[in-house]
Amino acid sequence: MTVPQIGTAPAQRLIQPCVLGACLYAGLLVMGNRMLADPDTYWQIAIGRWILDTGSFPRTDVFSFTMHGQPWISTQWLAQVCYAVAFSLAGWAGPVVLAAASIAGAFALLAWFIGRRLDTLTALILLMAAIAIASPHFLVRPHVLAMPVMVAWVAGLILAADRGETPSFWLLPLMTLWANLHGSYVFGLFLIGAIALDAVLNVEAPARVRLLLRWFVFGLIALAASCITPYGFDALLAARNILNLGAALALITEWRPMNFSRVGAFEVCLLLGLGTALLKGLTLPPMRIVIMLGLLHMALSHVRNATVLALLLPIILATPLAAQLGKRSDDTELPLGQWVSWRQRIAVSAAAVLILGMTVYALAADRYRPAANVTPAAAVAILKKNHAQRVFNDYDFGGYMISQGMAPFIDGRTELYGEKFVVDHYAAYEMRDPAIFFALLERYKIDATLLRRRAPAAQVLDQVDGWRKIFIDDYVVVHVRDADARHSVEPQVKPEVKPASN
Amino acid sequence: MSAAGLDDIGHKPGTVERLLGQVPAWLWFGAGLFLLFVIGGNRSLQDADTYWQIVVGQSIIDHRAVPTVDIYSFTKTGAPWISSSWLAQVLYAASYSALGWAGPVILAGLGTAAAFALLTHILCRRFSATHALIVAMAATVLSAQHFVARPHLLALPVMVAWVSGLVDASDERRPPSFWLLPLMVLWTNLHGGFVLGLALIAPFALDAVWNAGRSQRVSLGLRWVGFGLCALVASWITPYGWNSLLAARRILDLGNAMAQIPEWQPINFSSIGPFEICLLAAIGCVLWRGIVLSPPRILLVLGLLHMALSHVRNVEVLALLLPLVLAKPLSVKFGRADGGPSPRGVTSIVAVIFATSMATWAFAAHHAFTPMVKATPAAAVDVLKARKAEHILHNAMFGGYLITRGIPVFFDGRGELYGDDFLVTTFDALALKNVGSFLNLLETYKIDATLLTPDTPAAKLLDRLDGWQRIYADDVAVVHVRKQAESSRR
């Protein structure tokens, strides 16, 4: 392929990634509170803190009261520790800066990889599309720390496939890092197989078997590298638990299938991409088509995988597209020593100043706070004052409760709670079936509830004798068990737990 | 099936073979699809709307007048409502009174089979019969979930013929034939989807003008505009004049309520289905073979794809129209080498049609169709009638059956009559997304009984609600009524 010509002026090609990374970093810090809109951030930091404090890794649940002591391992421990350290150093600015730097790093790396292959305009369009698709998932959670690792890993594999070689063994530490940061490393292992086939198709027939064998060995070593975690092989099995959640996955926003009810970035990019392919008559090698359709299927079936598609598709398409849409124009006029022309110097120093300035501003201003709708602070304070021990809570409030040392009924660790528990909680909370709600209240001896103000369960509690509403604000309502309380809204609802009446 | 029929009417095997070779592919496909449709007829009778479509059609036949106000509900009685699919409703009602439930099944099957046979016929002009059949089968599988006996199936062949006329004109860089206009008149009286037919004139005009020589562009463009205006006028030839066009808009205004009506929901990719398989296969094919289209055609492809992604009911539009739009551009690369005419033997065509009719007749005579199993709460309605309940709150899917029983409904499938706010409020109330609005509905509309599916959250709450008691339950429906003492106290 055309790879040997690449890299004639590496310094020149660093400018676009630097500027893009700096701008993205600054943009993320400006809108930093958007990254804190996720309730899971609270418990991720709390678990990181727990690991730091106890010096051990969790093997059973110690946070909830419903699953206390059940086996549970934290495959994302390294990311949690990083966030916890950042939080203890700089408050909420710490995790925000860390996540922003990681996201910007991932996209800068992506820009560098495709910038070496494609002309500037095509690369820029692909990058903008990738940012637009991935941006809803820019949250302070472990997966963003795994983003640069994922980009580097796949870029390394694709580079080897383009050249018809085996991947460098220097990639293996990345796999170890990834396996400790986030469960998505399983996907990185799968990709070895798909990209190996692509590599094998790229070489002449006689060399194929040998190359396939070497990729196979690489795959085995990568599998071994992924087991270098505090949990060893168990981490790989834990990733499976999440995929086994079935019906419960459909209840978690980010695991829902792609929704096309409103025109969004994903649909626009999908249609424009298809349109461009039809306009220019673009073609791809067979295995690249297979990988692309696989990524597309993943993104369609689970909206969270759109981020994976956005980050990896440009890497996979870069070399085949370069042959058809126009390669990066040769800048051999700028040999290595001469790159310090004034424009480049200004661009790079501006990027550096921007990064530095924004970091200082972010750390000094201390204006980041998690979203109010996942932070029921006053309500939890009241619950603590009432000595509530067993609180039936909204799925989204579990994170904040853990951070306040209060055991939740449920939180974002869905794989701990399991399919039936999560589905039942949903049925109770959303009043799909009042019988399940009242049965859960009895079975877990609930003494208080912490629900969203508009939650159907909260509305029904107002109509039940034996529950008193003690707190309400814009987002949250708190009920406590109180034998003397009478229903405050007519008509009365009878909470008897009886064998299903139908 | 058909081959057996041929044997029945007494041809020698050698003759049969010769005759079979003369049957064109489109007829094979149409006859096969029709027979499958009739055999699986119960599937097409599972939509509750079929009930009220037939009732409305019958009332038009009886009174020789089309409705202008609602007479079926107690919530919107007297409110303006027009039935823009009146002709299809009349046809369904006539077929029902003639043949019972076999009538609507056969009628809907004819419409569907005609549309897909026509598609096959058009594709066979440019592609080998094998390729044409593969595409037609894929289109059938994609549309199959919407094969329910309702007006849109009768409009399908009209849609295919209309768009085929536009595509041919555009391919040949001429204005469409004015012989297409009667199709628009027929379509506008059959189903509200005619609005799409009008809207499609613009992109095809753009395509024709784009491909035409510079000198012809202005005159060609003007003639397409003329055709568009004539088509617009043709779409007013209904009992309601241009009100049909306005009524179609009211359905599209339903916005929030649409999100809760299954056929208006966006495509769901949670489990891999025919649509995703076809979409991925098509993208793979495009990238493998490097297919090039002209910009206006690309716009059409993307527009149809967007429609299908955002509303699952539009998948059939995509499935039927995309092959028409792509036929000419793709035939350059994949078209058949020989330009020979497709086989055409009048005797064999008649034989196949005769055999299909005989098979249908034999099947319909010995098979009782069971309509709307989940939407027919017959026993529960008997109970309600015995209690003389007047204001019944029920799921939308029970509205159709209640109308056939002459009971005023709370609401039913005529979304444009009830409006966005009313539908959303009622859906949220029955699903207990808002408990307060459910309790409000009970009081505001002086509900004295409810008729709900067993898994409706509201029905489960009523079991526990003071002042209400469950008096009947089966697999289809649960009935709750106000307790006597309670209602007298109020």
pLDDT digits (tens, 9 = 90+) for A69-109: 999 999 899 999 999 999 999 999 999 999 999 999 999 99
CA nearest neighbour of A239 among A299, A152, A180: A180
Q: Which of A173-177, A496-500, B407-411 has the lowest mean pLDDT?
A: A496-500
A197 assigned to some structural domain: yes
Residue A331 has pLDDT above 80, yes or no: no
The pTM of this model reads: 0.91
Q: Do B306 and A495 touch (CB under 8 A)?
A: no
B368 assigned to some structural domain: no
Regarding whether B280 and B323 lie in a shared domain, the answer is: yes
Pick B454's closest partner by Cβ from A432, A456, A502. Answer: A502
Regarding whether B474 and B343 lie in a shared domain, the answer is: no
B366 assigned to some structural domain: no
Handedness of CA A167, A173, A179, A184 (dihedral sign): negative
B363 assigned to some structural domain: no
Residue B12 has pLDDT above 60, yes or no: no
Final residue belonging to a domain, choices B297, B324, B358: B358
pLDDT category, A179, cuts 50, 70, 90? very high
Residue A333 has pLDDT above 60, yes or no: no
Higher-confidence residue of B427 and A502: namely B427
A386 assigned to some structural domain: yes
Residue A11 has pLDDT above 60, yes or no: no
Q: Do A433 and B432 touch (CB under 8 A)?
A: no
Overall domain count for chain A? 2
Final residue belonging to a domain, choices A208, A231, A254: A231
User: Which residues constitute the domain of residue B418?
Assistant: 375-489
State the best of B271, B432, B433, B471 to mutate against chain A, taking most chain A CBs within 10 Å: B432
A181 assigned to some structural domain: yes
- Chain A neighbours among B 126-145 (CB < 8 Å)? none
> Which pLDDT does position B257 carry in this prediction?
83
Distance from CA of A241 to the nearest CA of B (A): 18
Q: Number of A to B CB contacts under 8 A, please give it.
A: 132
Regarding whether B383 and B345 lie in a shared domain, the answer is: no
Regarding whether B150 and B180 lie in a shared domain, the answer is: yes
A199 assigned to some structural domain: yes
> Which pLDDT does position B334 carry in this prediction?
83
Pick B464's closest partner by Cβ from A257, A282, A494. Answer: A494
Which residues, 6 or more positions from A6, have their beta carbon under 8 angstroms from its beta carbon? A116, A117
pLDDT digits (tens, 9 = 90+) for A427-439: 999 999 999 999 9
A261 assigned to some structural domain: no
Q: Do B434 and A267 touch (CB under 8 A)?
A: no
pLDDT digits (tens, 9 = 90+) for B103-148: 999 999 999 999 999 999 999 999 988 899 999 999 999 999 999 9
pLDDT category, B322, cuts 50, 70, 90? very high
Regarding whether B188 and B125 lie in a shared domain, the answer is: yes
Final residue belonging to a domain, choices B329, B358, B387: B358
Regarding whether B97 and B49 lie in a shared domain, the answer is: yes
% of chain A residues with pLDDT over 70: 93
Overall domain count for chain B? 2
Mean pLDDT of chain A: 90
B138 assigned to some structural domain: yes
Residue B453 has pLDDT above 60, yes or no: yes
A463 assigned to some structural domain: yes
> Which pLDDT does position A3 carry in this prediction?
42
Higher-confidence residue of A218 and B486: namely A218
**3-class secondary structure per residue, A297-341:** HHHHHCHHHHHHHHHHHHHHHHHHHHHHHCECCCCCCCCHHHCCC
Residue A7 has pLDDT above 60, yes or no: no
pLDDT digits (tens, 9 = 90+) for B220-235: 999 999 999 999 999 9
B172 assigned to some structural domain: yes
A217 assigned to some structural domain: yes
Q: Do B434 and A456 touch (CB under 8 A)?
A: yes
pLDDT category, A502, cuts 50, 70, 90? very low
- The answer to whether A298 contacts chain B (CB < 8 Å) is no
Pick B466's closest partner by Cβ from A431, A433, A492. Answer: A492
Regarding whether B322 and B455 lie in a shared domain, the answer is: no
Regarding whether B117 and B217 lie in a shared domain, the answer is: yes
Residue B321 has pLDDT above 80, yes or no: yes
Regarding whether B143 and B25 lie in a shared domain, the answer is: yes
Regarding whether B401 and B329 lie in a shared domain, the answer is: no
Regarding whether B379 and B350 lie in a shared domain, the answer is: no
Mean pLDDT of B5-34: 70
> Which pLDDT does position B158 carry in this prediction?
97
User: Which residues constitute the domain of residue A451?
Assistant: 372-481
pLDDT digits (tens, 9 = 90+) for B290-314: 999 999 999 999 999 999 999 999 9
Pick B464's closest partner by Cβ from A293, A456, A493. Answer: A493
B365 assigned to some structural domain: no
Mean pLDDT of A250-273: 90
> Which pLDDT does position B244 carry in this prediction?
84
- Chain B neighbours among A 373-432 (CB < 8 Å)? 430-432
Regarding whether B146 and B254 lie in a shared domain, the answer is: yes
> Which pLDDT does position B14 carry in this prediction?
66
Mean pLDDT of chain B: 89
B203 assigned to some structural domain: yes
> Which pLDDT does position A499 carry in this prediction?
52
Higher-confidence residue of B79 and B371: namely B79
> Residue B452 forms beta bridges with which residues?
B478
- Chain A neighbours among B 394-433 (CB < 8 Å)? 432-433
% of chain B residues with pLDDT over 90: 72
